[in-house]
Amino acid sequence: MRSLLWLLPALILGLALFGGQAASDNSTSPAPAWAPPAFSDIEAELAGLEFDAFIETSYRLHRLRFPQSITHLGLADAFGARNDRLDDYSSEYVAETHRIERFILDRLRAFDRDALSKEQRLTYDVAEWIWDDTVRGQAFADLDYLVTHFYITSRDWAVYDLLVKVHPLGNIADAEDYVARLAEIGRQFDQLIEGMDARADRGIVAPRVVLNQAISSISGLVNAPALYHPFYARLRDRLPGIPGVTSDRHNELLAEAETHLEETVLPAYRKLYNKLIALREIAPDTLGYGDQPNGDAYYDYALRHQNQTELTATEIHEIGLQQVARLQEEIGAAAAALGYDEGTPIPAIYRRVSREGGSFSGAAIVAEYERLLADARERASDVFERFPSIPVEIIGDDFGGYYRPAPTDGSRPAQFVAPNSGSQPRYPMPTLTYHETIPGHHMQIATAGELGLPLLRTTAELLGYVEGWALYSERLAWELGWYADDPYGDLGRLSDEMMRATRLVVDTGIHVMGWSFDEAVDYFVENTGRPRAFAQGQILRYAVWPGQSTSYMIGFLAMLDLRERVRDALGEEFDLAAYHTMILENGSLPLAVLEQIVDRFIEEATGD
């Protein structure tokens, strides 16, 4: 699932604005009407705060440094801001943000943890891990590639997603903010280009195969006429439904958008496109960060950051090999139960499963996902003590396959964005549903947003926990018998679990062990049975998002281990629903902190 944007609870502290109203120039749409807090603002506002207020206020002030995330989370009104700014990627702004992060960590560590309440100590432990990890990451802040082919990590795609799918357009202010953001794209893209140039001067350039795909992916946005550009089209299509927009204001906003597209947006995309073309000439043919300056240390950090464990690359690689071997046997056994010949290669198994397991097209795809979700919601009631009140809806999209949390302003429900292009084989659909909705991401993320916890504990992107829970949910569905009458769906589950095991091997393979692109793709295809084109896309994803793909299996194994630890300690008194409550009732956690919670749960339950 897409990292980066989590559900927050509605409880927000009162906020102050930073900066005054900016004057417009020859436009009735306002320029950005606020400014993110500077270091001096944050230093002053945090002075003298008690622990709880410090945790909330420091989080809020830091998050205000990233205006795009404020929109994703639906927090603009609560934070006293507008949805009219884009993130700032200038070196000066990044340096000030780093100074703020170090200050917050130092200020946090000044509190006496032993003097805090039990719940406060838990918050302290989570916050200390997150801020410490954030500061550790500063040493590698200039090693990411900024712009690539991959929609989740590429900064240009972040703007596209923001404006085409996320930015609210429910009132006139929203529309004005949208137009104001169009005017900011030139500034932001110039900063991206400056950042890529600075990285290139130090020998840090994305792999050539990645840049080839990045160039292809933005070519349509470079050449689109202003009136046919997706940014213009969304505003044009939504304006008629916005209350209070007069005919004159409607025309003014569209005219301003067209001007910004012609004078700012399209030139910015052309400059970015040309920069990618130039960088391709000096790009490396190798994939891994091991060949980049300081790349080995960066990858070590990335593994710790993504998994929240101290496992080394070598250890993760070995775990992957062990899990792949286990799943090879399980897939073979499941295929044999369907009458397939013993020893049939995994790619051949899944070619047959894809044909024999049925398929859906058009509206029937979303209808089947909706049926699976309704069934999961009913069945899960046996092993969960509470369900989130926030609904989740299924939205079909050509590039689906991820969960989008509901914003805290209640403007829409949570969404499972499901793939619905062409004809979809059915066999992977149950597992994808359980992973993204119930009992997976929606159950965990939406529940966290309703617990009344500090914001930091409900929004932290701790993927060992978050993705580990979602993969655990896939296994849980099998354990509960949800696949009993669906052998093809069960082979889909095994394929997905195998993909997560394979990721441990190929991610560490390309970044530490010097695996080539073809070597990684071959291993992936051989063990998952996925099409080669899909495997190629996966390997390129791992190349630009180091370590992230390992979080699923590492977190999943931790969840299983912790469950067995509780089961062994409690024996016949073990209650699966109570275990799930204990795992979910504390928000997103570093795995080391989750382990402490489990140990405390056992002590309280056994009296030891």
Model confidence pLDDT, tens digit, residues 7-49: 332 222 222 223 333 333 334 555 677 999 999 999 999 999 9
Of 449, 385, 460, nearest to 413 by C-alpha is: 449
Could you tell me if residue 557 is inside a domain?
no
pLDDT of 18: 30
CA-angle at 31, arms to 270 and 245, nearest 5°: 100
Q: For residue range 401-458, list pLDDT tens digits in order.
A: 899 998 877 788 999 999 888 899 999 999 999 999 999 999 999 999 899 999 899 8
Tell whether 448 and 370 lie within a shared domain: yes
Query: For residue 164, is it within any domain?
Result: yes
Pick out the chain residues at pLDDT < 50: 1-27
Distance CA 555, CA 471 (A): 8
Asked which of 552, 573, 602 is the last residue of a domain, the reply is 552
At 16 the pLDDT is 29
Is the same domain home to 107 and 178?
no
Please say whether the beta carbons of 32 and 82 come within 8 A.
yes
For position 400, what pLDDT does the model report? 85
375 within a domain of the structure (yes/no) = yes
Q: Which residues contact 321 (CB under 8 A, 6 or more apart)?
A: 505
Q: Are residues 85 and 153 in the same domain?
A: no
336 lies in the same domain as 461:
yes
Position 31 scores a pLDDT of 62
Shared domain check, 180 and 105: no
Preceding amide of 347 cis, omega within 30 = no
Q: Look at residue 155 and tell me if it is in a domain.
A: yes
Q: Residue 6 falls within a domain, yes or no?
A: yes
Beta strands in 216-298 (DSSP E): none
Does 105 share its domain with 244? no
Range of the domain at 274: 145-285
- Tell me which of 109, 141, 173 is where a domain ends: 141
CA distance 89 to 194: 9
Tell me whether residue 569 is in a domain.
no
Answer whether 414's CB lies under 8 Å from 352's CB.
Answer: no
> 73 and 174: one domain?
no
pTM over 0.85: yes
**How many domains does the structure of the chain reveal?**
3
Closest CA relative to residue 406, chosen from 152, 161, 73: 73
Does residue 291 sit within a domain?
no
Residues 99, 150 within the same domain: no
Judgement on whether residues 134 and 190 belong to the same structural domain of the protein: no
Q: Dump the DSSP string for 422-484.
A: SEEESTTHHHHHHHHSTTTHHHHHHHHTTS---HHHHH---HHHHHHHHHHHHHHHHHTTTTT
246/343 same-domain check: no
Q: Evaluate whether residue 77 is within a structural domain.
A: yes
